[in-house]
Amino acid sequence: MGHTFIPLVDLRHGLIARAVPGDSPAPGGLLSDRLGRPLRDLRISVTDRCNFRCSYCMPKEVFDKSHAFLPHSALLSFEEITRTARVFVAHGVRKLRLTGGEPLLRKNLERLIEMLAALRTPDGQPLDITLTTNGSLLARKARALKDAGLQRVTVSLDALDDAIFRRMNDVDFPVADVLRGIEEAQAVGLAPIKVNMVVKRGTNDHEVLPMARHFRHSGIVLRFIEYMDVGATNGWRMDEVLPSAQLIETLQHTHALQAIDPQVEGETAERWRYVDGSGEIGLISSVTQAFCRDCNRARLSTEGKLFLCLFASAGHDLRTLLRGGASDEQIAAALAGIWSQRSDRYSELRGAAGGGSDAGARRVEMHYIGG
């Protein structure tokens, strides 16, 4: 059967949307891309707005008063998100992660969580539903999120030192409020909690040890993330990346740690445990050790574009299908057509090319498709 392509032009962010294959045969089950990778994990951005201005993600100078965020009508509605997720789940997705922007800024997010929590895999299993947040509103919202069916949460926190944290979020937000959010999430049973720390050499690398000490014995898994060259606005430089190999070496001077075998295929973090059983940490080495080979993640932007890679320059416009009267079968066929053509492996190629970034190339911004 031939393909008709629906070219859809997107002027936001200067990106051109990719064609959506129009009439691929509807798939019967699991999908596989051109490198044999299944589709397992869908990250859904529910807003492009954020109350922080982390310089590595939404630098203040760029995302200021004159920046045009999406109007409400452009956002996928909860019904549209749930319908899309249902189609994805029918074709292999087992894990949903809500992200943004700051997902807790989206009004009535609990309602969306309830709707997603009602979905089942083809063999009747509930999904693994989680959320990544900067934690600023978590103390207030943890209970409602848990009651709506959220199982666990990942909180981003780059420093314990209040002055450093305030400087990194660049809106003078105090660290104590995020720590209260984490405590509340723990209290209501949003477990296991993970804390993500983006490490920037020269900015917060001296916070690695205090953070490790703080979260050891807490049941919370602290994960160190290499500063990535996502987007085109953060002025990324390789010399600001602290390679995970160096970080673990430093940690091992003061903490006895041993590596844990990966449990799940496509896991992004390399896991280590304290030998005395007092906890676990993770290393996410997106820059120095690419994990594209197992990458089973798709990303749905706030306005319904499907991105196949964090470093993609364009997404496939599903919203036009959703709003244009397409049936679930047609959406499934489009998804199958898109996934079967996927060959993205940006980090691997960057590694093979010697580690330099092509930052400055037109690339989607992190706050727009989420992490």
Residues lying near ligand SAM in the complex (CB under 6 A) are found at 50, 56-57, 99-100, 102, 132-134, 156, 196, 198, 225, 227-228, 230, 234, 366-367, 370-371
- State which of residues 17, 39, 310, 334 lies at the interface with ligand SF4 (CB under 6 A): 310
Q: How far is the CB of 51 from ligand SAM (least distance, A)?
A: 9
- State which of residues 295, 298, 314, 364 lies at the interface with ligand SF4 (CB under 6 A): 295
Alpha-carbon distance of 250 to 126, in angstroms, equals: 40
Q: Which option in ligand SAM, ligand SF4, none does residue 292 bind, with CB closer than 5 to 8 A by kind? A: ligand SF4
58 in contact with ligand SF4 (CB under 6 A): yes
345 in contact with ligand SF4 (CB under 6 A): yes
If the CB atoms of residues 56 and 346 are measured against ligand SAM, the closer one turns out to be 56
347 in contact with ligand SF4 (CB under 6 A): yes
If the CB atoms of residues 53 and 86 are measured against ligand SF4, the closer one turns out to be 53
Q: Give the residue from 129, 194, 202 showing the smallest Cα distance to 167.
A: 202
- State which of residues 31, 57, 90, 230 lies at the interface with ligand SF4 (CB under 6 A): 57
CB 159 within 8 A of CB 174: no
If the CB atoms of residues 21 and 370 are measured against ligand SAM, the closer one turns out to be 370
If the CB atoms of residues 91 and 106 are measured against ligand SAM, the closer one turns out to be 106
363 in contact with ligand SF4 (CB under 6 A): no
96 in contact with ligand SF4 (CB under 6 A): no
Alpha-carbon distance of 257 to 350, in angstroms, equals: 30
311 in contact with ligand SF4 (CB under 6 A): yes
The SS3 of residue 312 is coil
If the CB atoms of residues 102 and 184 are measured against ligand SF4, the closer one turns out to be 102
What is the CA angle 284-274-216, rounded to 5?
Answer: 80
Helices (H) and strands (E) in the chain, counts: 11, 14
If the CB atoms of residues 246 and 313 are measured against ligand SF4, the closer one turns out to be 313
Residues 6+ apart with CB under 8 A from 37: 266, 293, 294, 295, 296, 342
Q: Which option in ligand SF4, ligand SAM, none does residue 38 bind, with CB closer than 5 to 8 A by kind? A: none
100 in contact with ligand SF4 (CB under 6 A): yes
**Residue bearing tokens 């991105």:** 307
93 in contact with ligand SF4 (CB under 6 A): no
DSSP 70: P
Residues 149-178 that bind ligand SF4 (CB under 6 A): 156
Alpha-carbon distance of 161 to 59, in angstroms, equals: 21
Q: Give the residue from 109, 94, 44, 106 showing the smallest Cα distance to 305.
A: 44
If the CB atoms of residues 23 and 170 are measured against ligand SF4, the closer one turns out to be 170
Alpha-carbon distance of 107 to 37, in angstroms, equals: 35
Task: Give residue 156's Cα distance to chain centre.
Answer: 11
The SS3 of residue 280 is strand
* Residue 108 Cα distances to 30, 86, 112, 186, angstroms: 32, 20, 7, 22
How many residues bind ligand SF4, per CB under 6 A?
24
CB 160 within 8 A of CB 188: no
Q: How far is the CB of 1 from ligand SAM (least distance, A)?
A: 39
291 in contact with ligand SF4 (CB under 6 A): yes
292 in contact with ligand SF4 (CB under 6 A): yes
Alpha-carbon distance of 27 to 288, in angstroms, equals: 36
If the CB atoms of residues 255 and 350 are measured against ligand SF4, the closer one turns out to be 350
Residues near ligand SF4, by CB under 6 A: 50, 52-54, 57-58, 100-102, 134, 156, 290-292, 295, 297, 309-311, 344-347, 367
